[in-house]
Chains A and B, each alone.
Chain A
Amino acid sequence: MDPRAWKRFRKNKGALFGGVLVAVVTFAAFVGPWVAPHDPALQFTDTLIRGDTGLPAAAFTVTGHPLGGDAIGRDELSRLLHGGAVSMKVAFFATSLAVFVGLLVGVVTGYFRGKFDFLAMRFVDVLLSIPFLIVATAVQMIIDSPSLWSLYLLLGLLSWTTLARVTRAKTMQVSELDFVQAARALGASHGRILAKHILPNVLGPAIVIATTMVSTMIIAESALSFLGLGVRPPAASWGSMLKEGQEFLAHAPRLVIYPGLLIMMTVFGFNLLGEGLRDALDPKDSR
């Protein structure tokens, strides 16, 4: 890697801020479960459900529960802290997997073209044609007691297609450029061309798509949890908390706002970080 990349990255306040945001959220995800004041599954119904209305208690109204309770009387703060760990793991593993597969397939197919390209793209077509819910149901049938790992795999293996297709298009475009043709004419090996010329050029759009994927993954986890593929109740994740709070949007909007803001903050951090990384790695500035 270009030694000046780090220097450029360091000078970039926005990217640093993004990095700090991501670091904070990651840190919170690691220590959250230890510092949470209560068991996230414990239902303090009488203290946290307002008897006159049946609505969950709001923030700062019950001592010992700074953020109040959720729809069935559990401590909101503890659930947010525990949920963060799950959501961050999902975001990290599933996105990494998707980016890895997507980049690999996109670059290889776009650079070499030929039969493999053709087969891979037709496979992508088949994948895109089958509704997500059906695949999820099939996995649910096959795996009797799914773990979080099966969730990462499922999300990762189903989400790489967009990235692959965009990367492929970009690779095709870059491969036709003069400097790649020149390198090829000079006898550079494929590996060298891919690593030195193609990859740095396709990384930009890839990072943009990957950062949008982070939020998709966090949300998709909650969509899967209703099929029993997400977190197992009573465990929490930000996505599932967002979904639980959805019907209270008009009457206790904080049940949506807390996890929603956290997801937005995390994604915002990833976006800034991604943008900064892209700038730092951009080969055009390094020459």
Chain B
Amino acid sequence: MTVRQPPPVRRTPRNVAFTRALWRHATVGVAAFVFGLWVTGCPKPPDGPRYEGAGADKPTYGGTFRFYVTANVRSLDPQIAFDTLSGTGIHLMFDGLLDYTNEAKLTPVLAASMPEVLEDGHTYRFRLRKGVHFHDSPVFPGGKGRELTADDVKWTLERLLDPKTQSPGAFFFTAIDGAGDRQQGKTKDVRGIKVVDRYTVDITLAELDQTFLNSMAMTFAYPLPHENYEAHPTDVSFHPVGTGPYVFDHWERGVRITLNKNKHYWQPGLPYIDRMVFDENLTPDVAAMRFRNGDYDHGHHFRQPDYIFFSQSDKWRPYMFSEPDVTIWGYFMNCEMPPFDNVHIRRAIAAAIDRERWARIYKGRYMPTGQILPPQLMGYDAKLPHAQKFDLDLAKEEMRLAGFPNGLPDPITVWTQEGESAKAQAELLQADLRKIGIPVDIKPVSFATYLTESGKRGRVPMALSGWNLDFPDPADFLDVLLNSSAIHDVASENRSFYSNPELDRILNAARVEPDEAKRTALYREANDITAHDAPWVFIYNPIEFQVRQPYLRNYTVHPVYKYNYRFVWLDLPRRRLAP
């Protein structure tokens, strides 16, 4: 066997030369690269709207309305969908018996009037509007939409309560007499729902509940024709048929949903728009740029820096909406876990948070608050006697009462959710608590982990938490978050595990109280107790911030659904402004 030498190689130190040359040329290359980026990045983006309207004073018909949502639309089946984004779509295609006005008050839609309460006090009688038709659809014989009747209301609610449907919304209708039997699959029929005649249906509750009518305004109760379900038992979501102003056209999953005008809508002269296109799955950055380009007619879900941009721009400012959201944000403290089992520690923390400072950093996005109820709800009081507020002396005094005048020896663990904004908020809290000698250890976890773990007893001592309404009633905040009946060993809604028999008594009385003034007084009292006992440190109500293009008209921010696109119109033709 011949043994060959390793391949001979030229002796010139080639690579040395390369790195030497690199050293010589690199600066020029880098400079050219940076210069190229700079030149191409130089043009200023438009600082105001690109288009304006024709200036009509009467609504114009026609046009395509383009908007977006920032995540996936999960379902367009009204009995299944349980998130705001899906709700936005469902709201365009379906009508409810009841709905909310822009002041968050209940108003009849498919019902001819607000339901009357029958003499037993447990039964609501709904009278339907006559001559309302479902969309034309192949699910109906002949393809022509048939008239909505009381049977549809009954069928829809029974589908909702059917265990096969697995609706997350069934929970809100358990108050109906016989709902439980239906949910357990014992009956096909719910005895509390009675069809009186073609246009009248009675709904009887097993026990009194003043919040029930709110459930009837949720999308879960929006009537669906049984033909729709029978034609598409597993995918109503892709073929939704309702009575609403727009008819479903096409859904390219994860990309966009298109709807057409319902030409036979029961409200004469409505809607104005011919075609609705909404893109799903956008990110806030892309959304902001596209909106400024004029690719969308309405913008929302912007991040803080974009908010600053719009609010600083004189050209955009007239088209901005900032409305306080019916939402509370703060930190809950687990009242069963030390040191938060000590009310003075909780009060000290509640008094140590400099809410104005937070609001300065998140300028225009946060409204400082010191109570659980947002301003839109009954029971809110701007001058609540025990409202939490920043008072460093009080905080130090409470620390002394708690027996820790020099602060806590060990750090408390504060859980926070993923994302830069949640992290920044934890750091703000950390800085505030440092002033009263409470060291904070921040534990960032994913949202799923946060939800699962914070519902477990004795697991999460303190965490950033928020609550957005299911429906605009104080019960939806106080009963869910702080009633001791909402404490469970797992999946507890009362994540602070706060239990106060006095508060429970007030809340349970308020839930069934028919008199509005008395009810308000009860909730105000509950509001005060919870602010004083501080199971949460209440920090702010976020401000919903949206922008419209100048030619988009008749748009308002909705307190419950956030977006009110149903009867918008476009001031066409739109005119391009100078860049």
Interface residues of A (CB under 8 A from B): 8, 11-15, 17, 41-43, 45-46, 49, 51, 53-55, 71-73, 137, 140, 145, 178-179, 182, 185-186, 225-228, 232-234, 243-244, 246-248, 250-252, 272, 275-276, 278-279, 282, 284-285, 287
Contacts and interface: CB of A to CB of B under 8 A. Distances in A.
17 contacts: A14-B20, A14-B21, A14-B23, A17-B23, A42-B431, A54-B308, A54-B364, A137-B449, A145-B441, A227-B418, A228-B444, A243-B420, A251-B306, A272-B19, A279-B15, A285-B13, A285-B14
A267 B528 CA distance: 57
A232, A252, A284 — most chain B CB neighbours (10 Å): A284
B22 interface: yes
A252 B305 contact: yes
A55 B308 contact: yes
Contacts of A41: 427, 430-431
Interface residues of B, number: 51
A182 B431 contact: no
A278 B360 contact: no
A248 B444 contact: no
Interface stretch (B1-9, B257-265, B472-480, B517-525): B1-9
A7 to B, nearest CB: 10
Contacts of B362: 54
A136 to B, nearest CB: 10
B317 interface: no
Interface in B355-369: 357, 360-364
B232 interface: no
Contact of A228 (B11, B23, B285, B445): B445
A226 B364 contact: no
Contacts of B22: 14, 272, 275
A49 B423 contact: no
Contact of B445 (A8, A42, A140, A250): A140
B15 A227 contact: no
A45 B441 CA distance: 21
B430 A8 contact: no
A46 B361 CA distance: 9
Given A54-B364, A251-B309, A233 B20 contact: no
Nearest to A245: B420
Interface in B385-442: 418-420, 423-424, 426-428, 430-431, 441-442
A158 to B, nearest CB: 18
Given A11-B16, A226-B419, A73 B23 contact: no
Q: Which 7 A-B pairs have the closest CB atoms?
A: A54-B363, A14-B19, A279-B15, A14-B23, A179-B6, A284-B9, A251-B305
B361 A73 contact: yes
Interface string B282-305: 001100000000000000000111
A53 B363 contact: yes
B4, B23, B312 — most chain A CB neighbours (10 Å): B23
B488 interface: no
Contacts, number: 137
B444 A285 contact: no
B19 A186 contact: no
B166 interface: no
Contact of A232 (B4, B23, B442, B449): B442
B23 A49 contact: no
Contacts of A43: 427-428, 431
B305 A15 contact: no
Contacts of B4: 178-179, 182
Given A14-B20, A179-B5, 9 more contacts: A15-B19, A41-B430, A51-B360, A137-B446, A225-B444, A232-B442, A234-B430, A244-B424, A275-B22
A36 B233 CA distance: 66
Contacts of B312: 53
Contacts of B431: 41-43, 234
Given A12-B16, A53-B308, A276-B19, A227 B9 contact: no
B576 interface: no
B543 to A, nearest CB: 13
A45 B426 CA distance: 15
A251 B308 contact: yes
A8 B14 CA distance: 11
Contact of B427 (A72, A186, A226, A285): A72
Nearest to B284: A247
B9 to A, nearest CB: 4
B443 interface: yes
A70 to B, nearest CB: 9
Contact of B9 (A45, A53, A72, A287): A287
B420 A246 contact: yes
Nearest to A146: B443
B463 to A, nearest CB: 13
Contacts of B446: 137, 226-227
Interface in B336-368: 357, 360-364
Given A54-B363, A227-B444, A233-B430, A282 B305 contact: no
Nearest to A229: B444
Contacts of B284: 247
A251 B305 CA distance: 6
A101 B11 CA distance: 34
B445 A13 contact: no
Nearest to A264: B30
A65 to B, nearest CB: 16
A247 B305 contact: yes
Contacts of B285: 247
Contacts of A45: 357, 360-361
A72 B360 CA distance: 10
Interface in B95-136: none
A178 B5 CA distance: 8
B428 A72 contact: yes
Contacts of A275: 15, 18-19, 22
A250 B45 CA distance: 10
Nearest to B26: A14
A247 B304 contact: yes
A232 B305 contact: no
B361 A282 contact: no
Contacts of A71: 361, 424
